Amino acid sequence: MQLNTLKPAAGSKRPRRRVARGIGSGLGKTAGRGHNGQHSRAGGYHKVGFEGGQMPMHRRLPKRGFKSQTLKFNGEITLSALESLALDEVDLVALKAAGLVGQLIKHVKLIKRGTLSRKVALKGIGATAGAKAALEAAGGSLA
């Protein structure tokens, strides 16, 4: 192998497209731009969603719904998950360490799904009314 014989791999380099260089090139006359219209002219462009002056779809349709940006920071834990967790005192750090809630979660709420048969103390965790009743019936507390 010599420096003067080095070549790129076959098929890795393609010749650049030379437009408007005659009929034989296949890209002569209109240079691949079609005939008339905005796209055929130099400097012709339109914004994303532009429909030629017609009222665009995103303005024709009604606005609907709302998605809270804080939803990704809210988590929930069930009574059955709390039962399987072998801790007497549970807080947000313990739930993250056990992998029951994600690392981005800032607020956790206990929901009533499943059953709880042992005493558990919750610190810094909210609860629904039904979950709170089930927790206190099992001898647990909510701080």
Confirm if 134 and 112 have CB atoms less than 8 A apart.
Answer: yes
Q: Please give the model's pTM, rounded to 2 decimal places.
A: 0.55
Task: State mean pLDDT over 39-53.
Answer: 89
Report how far residue 97's alpha carbon sits from residue 75's, in angstroms, rounded to the nearest whole number.
14
pLDDT for the residue 135 = 95
> Domain segments of the chain: what residues?
71-142
Q: CATH fold of 71-142, please?
A: Ribosomal Protein L15; Chain: K; domain 2 (3.100.10)
User: Whole-angstrom Cα distance, residue 140 to residue 117?
Assistant: 10
H-run or E-run covering 79: helix 79-84
Structure tokens given for 123: 């610190």
**Residue range 22-28: average pLDDT?**
93
Mean pLDDT over 74-101 rounds to: 94
pLDDT in tens, 49-82: 999 899 999 999 999 999 999 899 999 999 999 9
- Residue 81: what are its φ and ψ, rounded to 5°? -70, -35
> If 0-12 CB within 10 Å is exposed, 13-18 middle and 19+ buried, where does residue 27 land?
middle
pLDDT value at 92 more than 90? yes
The percentage of residues in the chain with a pLDDT greater than 70, rounded to a whole number, is: 100
Average pLDDT (71-96) is 94
Q: Residue 37's pLDDT band (boundaries 50, 70, 90)?
A: confident
Predicted pLDDT at 46: 84
8 Å CB contact between 120 and 90? yes
